[in-house]
Amino acid sequence: MNGSRTTGSPPDDRADASSAAEEQPDERARLERISAEAARARAGSGRLVLIRGGTGTGRSTLLETVVRRESWHGMRVLRARCSREESGTAYAAVAQLLDAELPAAARSVARARPAPGRRRAHRIRAARQGRDSLHGTGLPARLWRLLRSYAARGPVLLAVDDAHLADASSRRWLTQAARMLDQLPVLLVMTERVSYDIDPSPSGMARALPPALVTVCATGPLRPAEVADTVRARFGDATPRGWADECFRATGGNPLLLHALLADLAEVTGPAGPAGPSRPAADAPGGHGTPGGHDAPGGHGAPGGHDAPAGDTSRGPLPGAPCDAPVFPERCADLYPGNFTAAVAWWLECAGPATGTAARTLAELENAGTPELLTPVTGADPDRTAGWAGWAVRQGLLVRAEPGAPPRYPHPLLRDAVLAGWPRERRQAVRRDVAEILYRRGDSAEAVVRHLLSAPAVGADWAANALLEAASNAVREHRPHEAGNFLRRALDEPLTRERRGEVLTELGCLEFNAGRPVGVRHLTEALPLRHHGSGRLRTTVALGTALAGAGDVPAALETLRALGEEHADQPGTARVTQAAGALLAAYDGASWLRVVAGLRHVAAHSPARLDQAERAMLVRYEATAGLVSADEAVARLCSVANVPVDPALSPYVLATVAAVLQWADRNEEADQILGRGLAGHSPSLLHPSLQSMANTRADAAVARGRYEELLADRDAWDISEHGPHGSTNVRAQAMLALIATNRIARAERLSLSITASGSRDSWEWNRFLYARGVLRATLDDHSGALADFMECGRRQSARDVLSPVVTPWRSAAAECLRRMGSTAAAVALAEEEHRLAVVWGTPRTIGRALRVLGTVTGGRRGLKLSRQAVELLRTAPAGACVGPELLAALISLGGRLQAAGDRGKARTVLREAVARAQELHEPRMLELAERALSESGARAVGARRSGADALTESELRIAALAAEGRTNAEIAELLHLARRTVETHLTSAYRKLGIQRRSGLPGALGVPKSFGAPIGKPATEAPG
């Protein structure tokens, strides 16, 4: 029999663990309203109560609670659970409701169904004959009389779940019955799904009834506080911090989704209790955890209250929960049981195919899902689509960053669940369609390719055009990683032979600059695709540069030679290949000497045959060989520069001229030439002249004490995810900059990375040996430093590079020898350095040589030489930027004066050194000067170093981030530092700023208080 009656304790007594005592206020009010209507029905005046709400908002759960309560109060319960499968069978819902009392003949009539073509005529005939009337002779009347007979025996509760799925005949019968319940002790309670779907839903049950006959109870999503209570009721005191907010954003407060998510989280984080993992409360009939009803697996539940599934004993703290909060999942793959994914799928299925497609399309498009895009991609009505998006925002299932912004899913887990199960082909088709729409309406190339990257080859010119435009923009804006992604995707599109070669060339340059060996392969593939013109020359030069950089100089020179022979009838191309070969030959000592020998032979016998690039190259060779002075070299280069230069040769001439000008301390002129040479060229282009200019710029930055200028370009020297790459010389100069700024540990790590990867045959390795020697000397490893300096000198001498303008290895080695007690050998090296420095004739080289010669010589002569070094550097032209050398000379002179017993003059000189070091922001020199001043017996000068101005660049950067509220771990990750390094810098910053706590940083740094710790985030982390 379909009716039921229960006895025992009332459902709101303490015996019911899911009692109304824990109900939320809204739910308690709904139950009170329904209870009042039930009381009137028991008194003989029934009516219709309609429970309306969206999928998963607890309609079925509320109905089950009403059934339990009113059954205890003595009402006979008749139930029907409607389903989509029976929605086409006439009177199926009413037959289910009254099935136990229907005679077999009546049931057969109820389930009889006319042929589809005759339904309308059948309905018209039935109306004319009074068959649909509850007072006639047909089946509806017999069902009505049957209900009245039940009511005559006692109060009746008719519980109809998911009435929106009932067949049309049953809906009509229930509507007619509702009009006449006010004279019967019958309460009709029905649940009905009401939601804004893109495909309009059928009219609701209450539409044809006057408001006086219907009581409507609406269900909806939970509020954040209610979600938090539910989460805490599930996990108890072990609830991880922040999970309540995560759960609300991932579910929008929808009880169906919330309980399914909590069930999954209980499985993922650990055993849920003696009863095992809990099933979600269900709007589905019976509250099953799988889609048994049409409101889904999961229920509308007040936390720990009556909406909890019967027998759920899994609430409570997580056994063995760790102290640190687990990471809240952002992918469905991290939720193994899959309850949440199934619940979201059910929610979408209930919304209909058009809404499901729009929801999934929006998830696929992430933040770009505007209604203007959703409509053409999905083919849905634009007004209905916009209306659905607005409704979903109000339900908490979508959010907008600001009014008018595109809607998006509030949590990545919800977005991932919406996309789960959607075929990859459909997702790619959406991306492809959106990309074309954006391209056709003129959106930026970046917006177009954001979608093309997720789609297969389009096979249309517009796709290739967008990808290449976006790649060009990314290269120009120094986003090489993105540019590489765009170019790789462009290769999937059909391209002409020449255009494919161009793309492979650009991609090969990017890959090689990123330290990936595949770059050489791309350039090799590109070469045969480029048959003629500047494109083939550009690819050949790039391939040669890559081969030389990879250590295969003979292959690089052979590649260039082959192109020169191939275009022997084109003198311009041949000259460019020769100039490129000359620069690349420097990466191999024997090749370089052969090239120079050839140039010198031509210069001696047929100087007119030399072009401007070759003449500039000879000047550079003679400068490094110690054969000419700086003034003579600059004069000869000026004569070369005054002759019109072939545009193709111009980069090679400029690169050579800039290097010599930098050695000659003509810094402003060098800067101008570097600006001209680097302007107009792609930052990713592999070209020997551009690499030479990049090396010159790094050399100049260190020589002039502009360390942060060099270190700011981290991509040029730092260790990438693919390991060390780029110019070894630039990285060696970065080591010197790190040492000068007292970042010794970072310099050590950089040194190790170069040691593990660098090519030993290149001239750049000599620069690294010198930098590593300086590092070892700083660490008091004078024996190791001497070995590096001597090896640097041996290798440079083998290339005829004798001048100290390249690396002052003799001076550095002499200082190591002095500390090791080998004074005679130290003096010999220092005197040779001084002789060569005088040949070059600039204050920097001579002053440095005099300083070291005075240090290793000692005595009165040493003091005299030290004074000469200081005077020479003091009178150097301002543009020479010899500040770092003058600092070293002052510290050395102070030492000589102190050794001579003249402490007063020593202190004066050393105080000047301290002041200049502070002015020039030279942390390493400042430390040495203060130490020497302290050893001279002077008072400590630490008081001068206080406040924000006393912070080093690293200390200031880390302190500023800490003032913004970032933790030490976040700062370490952001700056790619060890946490201990961050702590050390913060401790030093605290001392210099005169503060004790992190909260004092904003005021000490002079930043607004809004830069302090964010609201809700305590800034109490100690520096250590």
Per-residue HEC secondary structure of 355-391 comes to: HHHHHHHHHHHHHHCCHHHHHHHHCCCHHHHHHHHHH
Q: Are 450 and 467 in contact (CB under 8 A)?
A: no
Torsions phi, psi for 449 (to 5 deg): -75, -20
Rounded to whole angstroms, how far apart are CA atoms 509 and 516? Answer: 10
Chain segment 147-206, per-residue pLDDT in tens: 999 999 999 999 999 999 999 989 999 999 999 998 899 999 999 999 999 988 878 888
CB contact at 8 A, 624 and 805: yes
* 41 burial type by CB count under 10 A (0-12 exposed, 13-18 middle, 19+ buried): buried
- Categorize the per-residue pLDDT at 947 as very low, low, confident or very high, splitting at 50, 70 and 90: low
Residue 134 pLDDT level (bands cut at 50, 70, 90): confident
Which of 966, 930, 968 has its CA nearest to residue 950? 930
Cα dihedral across residues 262, 265, 270, 275: positive or negative: positive
866, 909 in Cβ contact below 8 A? no
With a cut of 60, say whether residue 13 has pLDDT above it.
no
Give tens-digit pLDDT for 639-684.
Answer: 887 776 778 888 999 999 999 999 999 999 999 999 988 886 777 7
Neighbours of 536 (CB within 10 A): 22
pLDDT band at residue 755 using 50, 70 and 90 as cut-offs? confident
Range of lowest pLDDT (22-26, 691-695, 925-929): 22-26
| Confidence (pLDDT) at 951 | 79
Q: What is the mean pLDDT of residues 687-692?
A: 91
Residues 851-908: tens digit of each pLDDT? 999 999 999 999 999 999 999 999 999 888 899 999 999 999 999 999 888 989 999 9
SS3 readout for 947-1013: CHHHCCHHHHHHHHHHHCCCCHHHHHHHHCCCHHHHHHHHHHHHHHHCCCCHHHHHHHHCCCHHHCC
**Alpha-carbon span 395 to 25, nearest angstrom:** 19
- Given a cut of 90, is residue 402 above it in pLDDT? no
8 A C-beta contact, residue 689 and residue 681:
no
Whether 76 and 300 have beta carbons less than 8 Å apart is answered as: no
From the CB of residue 428, how many other CB atoms can be counted at a distance below 10 Å?
15
Residue 554 CB contacts under 8 Å (≥ 6 apart), including other chains: 588, 591
657 SS3 class: helix
- Confidence grade of residue 759 (pLDDT, cut at 50, 70, 90): low
Mean of the pLDDT values across residues 17-44? 75
List C-alpha distances in Å: 855 to 849, 860, 867, 897, 899.
Answer: 10, 11, 11, 11, 11
Residue type, 722: H
Question: Residue 156: enclosing H or E segment and its boundaries?
Answer: strand 156-161
The token pair at 814 is 């002499």
Does 916 have pLDDT greater than 70? yes
Q: In this model, does residue 322 exceed pLDDT 90?
A: no
Q: Is the dihedral of CA 964, 965, 968, 972 positive or negative?
A: negative
pLDDT tens string 277-318: 333 333 433 333 333 344 443 333 333 333 333 333 333 333
The better pLDDT of the pair 921, 522 is held by 522
What does the pLDDT read at residue 978? 78
Q: For residue 321, name the pLDDT band (cuts at 50, 70, 90).
A: very low
The secondary structure of residue 4, as a DSSP letter, is B
* Position 733 confidence tier, pLDDT thresholds 50, 70, 90: very high
Query: Which residue carries 């301002």 as its tokens?
Result: 878
Split at pLDDT 50, 70, 90, the class of 372 is confident
CA 459 to chain centre: 30
SS3 at position 712:
coil
Environment class of 740 (CB within 10 Å of its CB; exposed 0-12, middle 13-18, buried 19+): buried
pLDDT at 125: 52
The gap between the terminal CA atoms of the chain, to the nearest Å, is: 74
Judge whether residue 839 has pLDDT over 70: yes
Nearest to 997 by CA among 977, 1024, 969, 961: 1024
Helix 809-819 to helix 823-840 angle (10° resolution) is 160
User: How far is it, in rounded angstroms, from Cα 480 to Cα 473?
Assistant: 10
Predicted confidence (pLDDT) per residue in 523-536, tens digit: 999 999 998 778 89
Torsion on CA atoms 646, 650, 653, 656, rounded to nearest 10: -170
C-alpha atoms less than 13 angstroms from C-alpha of 813 in its C-beta half-sphere = 26
Least confident of 88-102, 407-421, 906-920: 88-102
pLDDT above 90 as % of the chain: 54
Return the residue matching tokens 């000379």.
889
Q: Could you give the angle at which helices 139-153 and 104-111 cross, rounded to 10 degrees?
A: 130
193 strand-pairing partners: 53
Instruction: Say yes or no to pLDDT of 979 above 60.
Output: yes
Which residue is associated with the tokens 């796709």?
A: 463
Q: Sorting pLDDT into bands at 50, 70 and 90, what band is 1019?
A: very low
Query: Sorting pLDDT into bands at 50, 70 and 90, what band is 99?
Result: low
* Mean pLDDT value of segment 594-620: 91
122 Cβ contact partners less than 8 Å away, ≥ 6 residues apart: 114
Mean pLDDT of the region 556-584? 87
| pLDDT for 136 beyond 60 | yes
State the Cα–Cα distance between residues 108 and 106, nearest whole angstrom: 5
Name the amino acid, one letter, at 911. R
* pLDDT value at residue 280: 39
- Which of the given ranges, 230-244, 307-321, 554-568, 844-858, has the highest pLDDT on average? 844-858
Strand, coil or helix: 348: helix
Given a contact cutoff of 8 angstroms between Cβ atoms, the answer to whether 55 and 282 are in contact is no
Average pLDDT for the chain: 83
The predicted structure's pLDDT at residue 467: 96
CA angle 597, 599, 600 (to 5 degrees): 65
Burial class (CB in 10 A: 0-12, 13-18, 19+), 346: buried
Indicate the burial class of 395 (C-beta count within 10 angstroms; 0-12, 13-18, 19 or more). middle
407-408 vs 399-400, strand pairing mode:
antiparallel
Q: Considering Cα of 795, then 799, then 805, then 810, what sign does the dihedral take?
A: positive
What DSSP designation does 81 have? E
